[in-house]
Structure 1
Amino acid sequence: MNFKTPTLLGHTPPILEIPAHQLWHRVQRKTALENSVRHKGYVLAPPGGLAGRFDLADEATAYLADSPETALYESLFRREVRSCHVSRIAQRALLSFETTSPLRLADLRGLEAHYPVLQSMRYETSHAFAAACRQQGLHGVLYASAQHPSHSCVGLFGTGIDRTKRAAAVDLVQAGTGLLHKAVVLAARGSQVPILSE
């Protein structure tokens, strides 16, 4: 295959191969919305919305994190959030996905100081980069969490999603008792985002 490494603002990031049997985590709705994409245990936003950093115009992208807490910081306890209602948390589950085959990813970690666009809300550049990565046969993009310092996230394209399997799923609020998952407690405490019940 004639492989050309995609560039980001003139910089050629390294390509990293992540071995099989690695665990990645995500928070997602327990019940899919009408237009959600459901595939291999994932409930994903439909393509075309381009609301995520590495979204593609014609294919859903799955976002996962290196720890349950990072997944929660990226989804429910983001920097701009002032509070989170327990009913919103109860609508979601924490899922773990295991890689079944190696993943070839563009590694953008460490480039944030040179390219602040990697953690800004201006997504046009990162959308174009994601499309170039997919065109060159990469399975996704590895990047530093903008919400949880020193942690990593991955955006997987369809070929990357197909190289994972769901390993576990647990409700964030335990049915019957209303107890919060430990990772929720840790993320709420770390982010100082109050959880509201009324």
Structure 2
Amino acid sequence: MGAQQKVRQEANTTGGNPLRLDEDKAEQIIDALNTDLADAYVLYHQLHKHHWNVEGAEHLGIHEFLEEAYEDVERAADEIAERVQALGGVPHASMTALSDAATVEPEDEDVYDIRTSFENDIEMYGSIMESYREHIELADNLGDHATGEMLRQQLVELEEHVHVIDHYLEDDTLVSQS
């Protein structure tokens, strides 16, 4: 780092915020949101991997759905990071910090059939949705209703995506089975 550069705020610290939320309460919410941010990036990369690798007769529809899904997750991650900053925190940004904070395990580097990939996605979505519900309750209990509302809106999108994936996993199809 050059002599001209200064750190404005160290990672893992909480400063004041213009939202008039007590710093101790904000710190608890920031910790929860940084977990959500880390989990979002794990999900983002897994969905992107599946988008790249999907094959078969239903390739195009699934490819397009996965692109929409990972773009929605990326948009949600951006909202979370901006909320962390508004609360006086520092959003996790390095791969190391995100990896350390994540509570979900990514799929390995192997390429799987889309059914296995979707089953892995449903598992990850489920864990993330459970975490969101806990963090919504935390934010509401600490008087941060705006964060609770933001997470509620994101939870609706997560649930919509997992619902679509669940439909893809049904046995009923117009594609002939060999």
State the TM-score, normalized to the length of structure 1.
0.22
For the pair shown, which has the larger CA radius of gyration, 1 or 2? 2
